[in-house]
Every structure is written in structure tokens, then in C-alpha cells.
């Protein structure tokens, strides 16, 4: 019997300190260092800075279903493979839709953090584009599960943003977008 922990462990959330090994995106520690620099710059220059968190979430019902269901090792490997493919494809598409001065990192198993030097209006436009990317890839992911033991697997798009406020610490900034 395979549990949700086995699936999550199989998703290779590893990095070498510089890059996430699955996606090639910036490693979390590097992202946090650069985010702190950007925050300091924003405070000094009274500039705009917005944090966006994008990715997928598993509803509670899916977590309970995965925890209580019995899947073969082969089924589990299939799900891990499909989720990794989703993560890699989404990371590539998101990276393509960002400007060179915008930061992105894989900060969770199926979530990413993005830091942009813009305010709420620009973030709203970017969030719209990101939502289209995530939705398109989610449709493909769901198609790939048809006919498998995971046909009923539910996963949802999650996009949150927060504009930096004067005096805000990095941890508070990250917490506003659940990172």
C-alpha cells in the first residue's frame, strides 16, 4: 500500500544550493537571499515589489483519498512521473513568460515563488497569464490520468500575490502568499 508520503518523497524536491534539480529553477535558499536584497532595495528606493505564489494544491479530500487508498508501486510511480512532468513543463512555461529581472524558484513540491519589481496592476496582468499557463497544463495532466487508478485525482490551481508594504519583513512578505 502506497501512502501520500511515498508520492511526495518521489517528487525529487532536491537542489544543489543554486538550482532545483528537477526544473533548473533557482534553489529556495538562493531565492530567499535575492528576495531579501530586493526587499532592502525596495525600502531604500521606495520602489514597487510584488511576490506571487503559483502552483497547484491538493484539496483535503484528495489527500484523504490518497492516504486511505491502496495503490501498487507501479501506480505510484506513474503518478510521480506525471506530476514531475507537470512541474517541469509548468516551470519552463512560467520562466518563458517572465522578464529577465524577475525571480522564480520552486519553493514547494508543486509550487513556485515569483518576485517582480512591479505593483498591483502589473501583477494582476501577470497572474492572468500565469493562470492560463497553469490551467492549460492542468488540463493536459488530467488527460494523462484518464484510464489510470488516479482518474479521480483532484488538483487545483493556486495563485496569490502581495505587494510589498513599507517596513514589511521577508517572512511576513512570504507568509502573505503562503510561501
Residue 3 binned pLDDT confidence (cut-offs 50, 70, 90): low
Q: Cα torsion at 56, 75, 10, 52 (round to 10°)?
A: -10
DSSP codes, 63-129: HHHHHHS---HHHHHHHHHHHHHHHHHHHHHHHHTS-TT-EEEEEETTEEEEEES--HHHHHHHHHH
Average pLDDT over residues 77-85: 92
What pLDDT is attached to residue 63? 86
Residues in the chain: 179
- Tell me the per-residue pLDDT of 113-152, one tens digit each, with 9 for 90 and over: 999 999 999 999 999 999 999 999 999 999 999 999 999 8
d(CA 33, CA 136): 32
Report pLDDT digits (tens) over 30-69.
Answer: 999 999 999 999 999 999 999 999 999 999 998 888 888 8
Domain ranges of the chain: 4-175
Q: What per-residue confidence (pLDDT) applies to 91?
A: 97
% of the chain exceeding 70 in pLDDT: 97
Return the CATH class of domain 4-175.
alpha beta
CA-to-CA distance for 53 and 147, rounded, in angstroms?
Answer: 32
For 163: left if phi > 0, alpha if psi spans -120 to 50, otherwise beta; the answer is beta
Q: What nine digits make up the cell of 138?
A: 492542468
pLDDT value, residue 69:
83
pLDDT category at 82 given cuts 50, 70, 90 is very high
Amino acid at each position: 500500500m502506497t501512502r501520500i508520503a511515498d508520492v511526495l518523497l518521489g517528487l525529487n524536491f532536491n537542489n544543489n544550493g543554486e538550482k532545483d534539480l528537477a526544473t533548473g529553477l533557482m534553489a529556495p535558499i538562493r531565492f530567499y537571499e535575492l528576495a531579501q536584497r530586493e526587499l532592502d532595495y525596495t525600502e531604500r528606493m521606495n520602489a514597487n515589489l510584488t511576490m506571487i505564489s503559483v502552483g497547484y494544491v491538493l484539496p483535503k479530500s484528495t489527500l484523504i483519498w490518497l492516504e486511505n487508498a491502496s495503490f501498487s508501486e507501479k501506480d505510484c510511480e506513474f503518478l510521480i512521473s506525471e506530476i514531475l512532468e507537470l512541474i517541469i513543463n509548468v516551470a519552463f512555461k512560467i520562466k518563458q513568460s517572465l522578464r529577465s529581472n524577475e525571480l522564480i524558484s520552486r519553493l514547494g513540491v508543486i509550487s513556485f515563488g515569483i518576485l517582480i519589481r512591479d505593483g498591483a496592476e502589473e501583477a494582476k496582468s501577470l497572474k492572468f497569464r500565469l493562470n492560463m499557463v497553469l490551467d492549460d497544463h492542468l488540463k493536459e495532466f488530467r488527460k494523462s490520468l484518464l484510464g489510470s487508478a488516479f482518474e479521480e485525482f483532484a488538483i487545483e490551481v493556486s495563485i496569490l500575490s502581495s505587494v510589498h508594504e513599507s517596513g514589511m519583513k521577508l517572512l511576513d512578505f512570504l507568509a502573505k502568499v503562503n510561501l
